[in-house]
Structure 1
Amino acid sequence: MAGRIPDSFIDELLARIDIADVVGERVQLKRSGSNQMGLCPFHGEKTPSFTVSTDKQFYHCFGCGAHGSAIRFLMEYDRLDFREAVAQLAQMAGMEMPENTADAGVQNNHAPLFAVLERADRSYQQWLRQHPQRQRAIDYLQKRGLSGEIARRFGIGFAPPGWDNLLGRLGAADELKQAGLVIERDGGRVYDRFRDRIMFPIRDRRGRTVGFGGRVLDDGEPKYLNSPETPVFHKGESLYGLYEVLQADRQPADIVVVEGYMDVVALAQHGLPRAVATLGTATSTRQVERLLKTTGDIIFCFDGDSAGRQAAWRALENALPTMRQGRQIRFLFLPDGEDPDSLVRSHGREGFEAQLQRATPLSDYLIERLEADTDMQSMDGRARFVEKALPLLQRLPPDVYRHMLCERVAGLARLETDYLEGVVDGRETLTRDQRARRREPVAVDNAGVRRTPVRLAIALLLESPALAQGVDDLDALRRLNDLPGLPLLVDMLELARQDPHLNSSAILERFRDSEHEGALWKLATWNHLVPAEGLEAEFGDAMAQIRRIAVERRLTQLNERLQAGTLTTDEWSEWIRLKQ
C-alpha cells in the first residue's frame, strides 16, 4: 500500500503526473499506437519491449517483467526510496509534500543514522591504512589474495582491538547505539560492538552504508558478526555486494548468490563482479525480489554438504512466490571442500564460469528433491509425491511458469493437469462429473492468463475504473466471498466507487507490496481482446456470470448443510433469498 503518506495525496499526484514525461527524461521513447516504447532500462535488449501506457499511466516490460507507476520507476531507475520518489514527483507536479505525516518524522530521523554510519565506515577504512595494529588485518587480506584496489572498491576496513576505539573517536554514543555500532550493558556501560575484525560495509542501492559485517582475525566466535536490526538496516532485505554489482554493470545478465562476504570480494577480484551474499540468514523472498528487479537470472551457489543443500532448499521455498514467465533461478552445488573463494582462486574465472554453466534450474532441483526417497512406480508413492508438491505449487503466482510446473508434476504423478491445478487453487473437492468437465480445454492466452469472469472483471476495471460506478450491490457480493478472487474484486470496486477520479496507476499503487500486487499487474498488462467500445457490456456480462457462479456455489454449501440438518436460522433465510 502507499505507506504513511496519505493515499489521497498519492492519488492526486499520480493524476497530475504524466508517466511518459518521467520515463522520457531517462529513456528514449517512440510512439506506438496509443503507447510509447523503448529499450528497457532494467535489462539488456536490442529489440524494444518496454512499453509506457499513457492511458493507464504505468510502464511494463514484456522482456523482463519490470512494471510499475511513475513512483516505482523513480525508485528503481534513480534508486530512491518511496518517500524520495514521491517527493521528486511532487516537486515536478507543483505539490507540497505533507510534512505532518508520521513517515516524515521517521525519514528525518534517518539522517543522523546515515551520517554516523558513514563516519564509522571512514574510520574503519582509515584504521586499515594507519592503525599501529593493522598489520594482522593486512596480512590476512593479502593471504586471501585481495589487492588494494579491490579492498578500496568494497570499502574494506579494520576495527582495532579494544573496547572504545569507535566510541572514543566519534563520541556520539546515542547515535552509535541506534546504528548498532556500540552495545550497552546493564549498569550503563557502553563499548564497541566490532573489535579486532576485518570490516565489510553493507551498502544500499544508493551506496549509503546501512550496516557492517565483521570477520574475526583469530579463532574466536562468532566468525562473522553482523550489525543488528536498525531503522535503516534489515537483514531480510539487504544484500552484501549489490551496490558494487550495480556499479560494475547496471544490467547484469545474471547474479550469483553466495554465502560469505569474502566469496563476493574474491569473485570480484578474479573478474566476476556480479556476486552478492545474504547476511547470515536464509535467503528471503524480499531479497529474491530485489535481485529480480536487477536481473532475470539468479544462480544460488552453495557448498555441496548437507548445510549447503538445506540452505538451497530454503532459498528455493522463499523464491517460489517470485517465479513467473521470463525469470530463471538456478542452483550450483560446489565440490566437497570447495567454496566460491577457493574455487575461483584454484580454477580462475574460466573454471568458475564453467561451473556456473552446470547450475540446475529450479524446476529440476524441486522435482529431484520431491522424488527423493519416493517410489514413483506405486500409486501410494505418487500420492506422497503430490502431497509434498502441493504446498510448493501453491506458493507460485498464477502464471505460465506455474502451469508448466503443474503439467510436469501431473505427468509424473499420472494425473490430469487441470485437476491438479484445481487442487492447487484450493477449489472444492471435485466429483467424478466435475472432473470430467475439467478435462475440457480452458481458455489460456499467450501470457498464461486463464480467462475467468473474475479475472476479466478485474482486468476491465483496471483499464477503466469508472466501470465501478455501475455496480451497486457490493454488500451482496461481499457475502458471496467463496469464489476465488471475488473479495479482491469487491475491494477494488469499493475503492473505485469511493473515488471516481482514480486512474489505473493509482489503483495499482494502492496494492503495491501486497499479496495481490503480482496478480494485478499480470491482469493490468493482459491482452483481454475486448475493444474499448465493448468494455461496459463485457464488464456487465462478467459481473452477471460472477453473481450466478457465486450464488450456485453458496447454494451448494447450504444444501449440504440442509441435508445434514446443521443449517442455522440465518443460513435458512439466506437459502430462501438465494433460491428466489
Structure 2
Amino acid sequence: MALPPAFLDELRARTPLAELIGRRTRLIRAGGRNWKGCCPFHQEKTPSFYVYEDHFHCFGCGAHGDAVSFVMRAEGASFLEAVERLAAEAGLEVPKPGPEAAERERRARDLHAVLAAAAAAFERRLRLPEGRAALDYLHRRGLTEETIARFGLGWSGAGRGALAADLKAEGVEPEQLVEAGLVRPREGEGAAGGYSDFFFNRVMFPIRDRRGRVIGFGGRILGDGQPKYVNSPETALFRKRRALYGLDLAREAAFRGAAVVVVEGYMDVIALHQAGFGGAVAPLGTALTEEHLEELWRLTPEPVLCFDGDAAGARAAERAALAALPLLAPERTLRIATLPGGEDPDTLVARQGPRGFQALLDAARPLSEALFAMLAGARLPEAPEQRAALRNRLVAVAGTIPDRALAAEYRRAWLDRFFAAAGSARRAAPGGIGARRFRAAGAPSPRPPRPPLDPPAVRRERARILLAITLRHPWLLDEVEEPLAALDLPEGEATRLRAAILACHAAASRAEGAGALDSAGLMSQLASMGAADALAWALQGAGLPTAATADAQPREALDGWWHFFGYLRGEADLVDDRRAAERALVETNDPAAQRRLIRLTEALAALRRGDGTSGQDGFAGDP
C-alpha cells in the first residue's frame, strides 16, 4: 500500500542511521557527524562504507540508501516490512489502509490461515498408516526426519473429500478451500454437486512466501500417473511468476553468507539444503521471470543459476540469461553453473557429496562469459555473412542492458572475444583463404606474427584518447582540471595540448559573464594559440572510442575520461589519489569530493580488472 510521504519523512527523521547500521558493522567517527566502517554488504578489510546524517554510501560496492533501504537490503525485507519494523522502534503507527485495502488484507489473512491449516493436515496424514508409502518414498530419496519436518512435507490422502473433512472441524468452509486453491467445484453438477480435491494421492510440498507463510502447494504423484508434479492454481496469494520454492529458508541463509543457487525442482532444493547449501531455491515449473530475478537480487547481488548439461538445460540457461540482461546493473548480475550430463543437484550431492556440488559452484561462469558461449557456440561460423550476423547479434544483445556503461563493457568484452576467436581460427586453418593467397603470390611463408605492443606507443595513444575526449566535451574540465594537470603525460603533442587546454579553461573561468566553454570554441582558441598540429594529432579518426565523439552521452564521456585516466595514472598513484580523496571527503563532506572518490574508485577497479584493451566499442582505443 502507498504510504504518505510525510509519514516516511517523520520515520526517517526519528531513526538514528548510525545507530541502526552500527548493529551490523562497527562504525567509528569520521569527522563531524559522519561515521565509517567496513561495508556489511561485501567483504573488505579497509573501511569504505560511510554513514551520513540521512544516508549511507559504500565506495567499494556502490551500496547507497536511507534507513528503510538499509533494512530492506540487510534483512531481505520488503518495503512495508522494513517500514513496519522501523516504525515500531520509533514509536510510530503505520497509517491504516482504506476500506478496500483493509478488506483485501483481511481476506489474505483468512487465506493464510486456511493454507496453514491445510499444511498441518497434510503433515498429520503423512504419519498415518495411509501415508506410509509417501513417507517411505521420502526416506528412499535420502531425506532425514529433520528435513521432512523443516520443509513441512506431507501427504494429501487418497480418499475424496479428506481435506474438507479434516478442516471442517476447524470451521473452514468449502468456499474458503476453493478460494485457497485446495478444492474445486465438480464440473457439470452445479453448486449442489459438491467439490473435488485439487491434490489427490500426492506427496505434498508447502510453498511459502519470503516471510514463511504458506501460499500454495506442490504435489508429486506416487506411481506412474501424470502429471508427475502439479502446483496450486493461481489464487489471491499464489502467483507462479513470483513464487520461489525454498525462498523463506534461503533468505535466512543468504544473510549468513550462503550462496543463492537456483535449481529446477522441489527435491533438488531440499537435497541441497540438507547437504548444507541453504541458499537453494527453485521456480515452480516455469522459466525464470522478471519477478523471480528481482526477488533473487534482493537476497544477493550475484545468484547462481544451475542448469542441466543437456540441450534442454542449455536452452533454459540461454532464456534465463537473455531475460536477465534488461534488468542488469553494475551492482547486480548472475553466474551460470552447468551440471554434468545426466546429473541433477539431487543426484550429484548423493553421489559426490557437498564437495562435489561446491566444486560446481566454484566453477560457475560470470554471465558475460557464459552468454557469449551460448550466443557464439563452440566455434565461430566460417562464412563471412554468418560471422557478420553473429557480430551484429552480440552488439544488439549487449544493447538490451539499460545501464550504458555496463552495456559498453559487455559489448567491448564480447567483441574482444569475437575477434580473438576469429584470429585464432584463421591462424589454425593451414588451407584457409590467407594461406592460398600467399601461395598464389609465390610467397615463401605466411605473414610473420604481429609484433608485440610498444608500451610507449600505447601510452601515447591513451593520452591522445584522453585529450580527444576532453576536446569534444570541455565541460568535463570543471571536474577533471586538477587530475588532468597532475597527470604524467608523454612529452610532445600531449603535454603541449594539455597546457593549451588548461590555459583556455582558466581564461574562460576568469572571464566575467562568459558562458561555458564549448568544443568548437575551445578548438578555435587552440588553433589561434598555435596548437593546430597538436589538435589534429589528438582528433585523427583512427582508434577513437565512442566517448571521444561529439554525440557521446555525458555519462559515457565522463566514464571514458576516467577510464583512460586510470591507465595513464597507474595503480600505485591511483591508490594514493583515492586515499587523499577519502580524507578530503571526511574533512569536507563536499559532494564534489564524493564524486571524485567515486570516480577514482571506479578507475582503480577497472584498472585491476584489466579493462580497455581493444576495439572501437565502449572505452576502446588501445592498440
Whether TM exceeds 0.5 here: the answer is yes
2:177 maps to which residue? 176
1:340 maps to which residue? 345
CA gap of 1:362–1:229, structure 2 versus 1, over 3 A, is same
In the alignment, the residues of structure 2 paired with residue 66 and residue 285 of structure 1 have an alpha-carbon distance, to the nearest angstrom, of 22
* Pair 1:372 & 2:384 matched: no
Alignment deviations for residues 15-47 of structure 1 (CA, whole Å, 9 cap, x no partner): 554433433455443233453334444455555
Tell me how far 1:194 sits from its aligned partner: 1.5
Alignment deviations for residues 31-82 of structure 1 (CA, whole Å, 9 cap, x no partner): 334533344444555554443332xx23344555544332233334455443
1:35 maps to which residue? 34
In the alignment, the residues of structure 1 paired with residue 150 and residue 467 of structure 2 have an alpha-carbon distance, to the nearest angstrom, of 54
Tell me how far 1:87 sits from its aligned partner: 3.3
Select 1:282's aligned residue among 268, 287, 290.
287
1:465 maps to which residue? none
Query: Is residue 328–residue 403 contact of structure 2 (8 Å, CA) maintained in 1?
Result: no
Alignment deviations for residues 425-470 of structure 1 (CA, whole Å, 9 cap, x no partner): xxxxxxxxxxxxxx954999xxxxx9999xx9xxxxxxxxxxxxxx
In the alignment, the residues of structure 1 paired with residue 390 and residue 4 of structure 2 have an alpha-carbon distance, to the nearest angstrom, of 48
Select 2:112's aligned residue among 100, 110, 114.
114
Query: Is residue 254–residue 260 contact of structure 2 (8 Å, CA) maintained in 1?
Result: no
In the alignment, the residues of structure 2 paired with residue 140 and residue 407 of structure 1 have an alpha-carbon distance, to the nearest angstrom, of 52
Select 1:308's aligned residue among 313, 319, 341.
313
* 3-state SS of paired residue (1:293): helix
Query: Is residue 76–residue 251 contact of structure 2 (8 Å, CA) maintained in 1?
Result: no
1:4 maps to which residue? 2
* 3-state SS of paired residue (2:239): coil
1:156 maps to which residue? 153
In the alignment, the residues of structure 2 paired with residue 442 and residue 407 of structure 1 have an alpha-carbon distance, to the nearest angstrom, of 21
| Counterpart residue identity of residue 184, structure 1 | P
Query: Is residue 324–residue 400 contact of structure 1 (8 Å, CA) maintained in 2?
Result: no
1:201 maps to which residue? 206
In the alignment, the residues of structure 2 paired with residue 106 and residue 143 of structure 1 have an alpha-carbon distance, to the nearest angstrom, of 43
In the alignment, the residues of structure 2 paired with residue 20 and residue 70 of structure 1 have an alpha-carbon distance, to the nearest angstrom, of 9
In the alignment, the residues of structure 1 paired with residue 162 and residue 48 of structure 2 have an alpha-carbon distance, to the nearest angstrom, of 54
* Pair 1:320 & 2:325 matched: yes
In the alignment, the residues of structure 2 paired with residue 194 and residue 442 of structure 1 have an alpha-carbon distance, to the nearest angstrom, of 70
Tell me how far 1:368 sits from its aligned partner: 1.4
CA gap of 1:251–1:93, structure 2 versus 1, over 3 A, is closer
Q: Please show how residues 121-520 of structure 1 align to structure 2 within 5 Å.
A: 121-129=119-127, 131-171=128-168, 172=172, 173-186=174-187, 187-188=190-191, 189-248=194-253, 250-325=255-330, 327=332, 329-372=334-377, 380-398=385-403, 401-412=406-417, 440-441=465-466
In the alignment, the residues of structure 2 paired with residue 265 and residue 484 of structure 1 have an alpha-carbon distance, to the nearest angstrom, of 48
* Pair 1:53 & 2:52 matched: yes
User: What's the TM-score, normalizing by structure 1?
Assistant: 0.66
Tell me how far 1:117 sits from its aligned partner: 1.8
2:438 maps to which residue? none
Q: Please show how residues 73-92 of structure 1 align to structure 2 within 5 Å.
A: 73-92=70-89
In the alignment, the residues of structure 1 paired with residue 44 and residue 591 of structure 2 have an alpha-carbon distance, to the nearest angstrom, of 35
Query: Is residue 254–residue 300 contact of structure 2 (8 Å, CA) maintained in 1?
Result: no
**Unaligned residue ranges in structure 1 (runs of 5+):** 416-438, 445-449, 457-481, 487-525, 539-580
CA gap of 1:71–1:303, structure 2 versus 1, over 3 A, is same
* 3-state SS of paired residue (2:303): strand
CA gap of 1:134–1:28, structure 2 versus 1, over 3 A, is same
1:475 maps to which residue? none
Q: Please show how residues 518-557 of structure 1 align to structure 2 within 5 Å.
A: none
In the alignment, the residues of structure 2 paired with residue 61 and residue 103 of structure 1 have an alpha-carbon distance, to the nearest angstrom, of 37
Query: Is residue 63–residue 326 contact of structure 1 (8 Å, CA) maintained in 2?
Result: no
Tell me how far 1:280 sits from its aligned partner: 0.9
* 3-state SS of paired residue (1:134): helix
Tell me how far 1:105 sits from its aligned partner: 4.1
CA gap of 1:27–1:350, structure 2 versus 1, over 3 A, is closer
Query: Is residue 36–residue 52 contact of structure 1 (8 Å, CA) maintained in 2?
Result: yes
2:602 maps to which residue? none
In the alignment, the residues of structure 2 paired with residue 207 and residue 58 of structure 1 have an alpha-carbon distance, to the nearest angstrom, of 30
| Counterpart residue identity of residue 272, structure 1 | F
| Counterpart residue identity of residue 99, structure 1 | K
Query: Is residue 43–residue 294 contact of structure 1 (8 Å, CA) maintained in 2?
Result: no
Alignment deviations for residues 470-518 of structure 1 (CA, whole Å, 9 cap, x no partner): xxxxxxxxxxxx99799xxxxxxxxxxxxxxxxxxxxxxxxxxxxxxxx
CA gap of 1:137–1:49, structure 2 versus 1, over 3 A, is farther
1:503 maps to which residue? none
Select 1:68's aligned residue among 65, 68, 71.
65
In the alignment, the residues of structure 2 paired with residue 202 and residue 451 of structure 1 have an alpha-carbon distance, to the nearest angstrom, of 57
* Alignment RMSD: 3.7
In the alignment, the residues of structure 1 paired with residue 413 and residue 104 of structure 2 have an alpha-carbon distance, to the nearest angstrom, of 48
Tell me how far 1:229 sits from its aligned partner: 2.7
| Worse-matched range after superposition: 166-175 or 74-83 | 74-83
In the alignment, the residues of structure 2 paired with residue 92 and residue 157 of structure 1 have an alpha-carbon distance, to the nearest angstrom, of 39
In the alignment, the residues of structure 2 paired with residue 91 and residue 201 of structure 1 have an alpha-carbon distance, to the nearest angstrom, of 31
| Worse-matched range after superposition: 365-374 or 344-353 | 365-374
User: What's the TM-score, normalizing by structure 2?
Assistant: 0.62
Tell me how far 1:135 sits from its aligned partner: 1.1
Alignment deviations for residues 299-321 of structure 1 (CA, whole Å, 9 cap, x no partner): 22222222211111111122224
| Counterpart residue identity of residue 117, structure 1 | L
| Counterpart residue identity of residue 51, structure 1 | Y
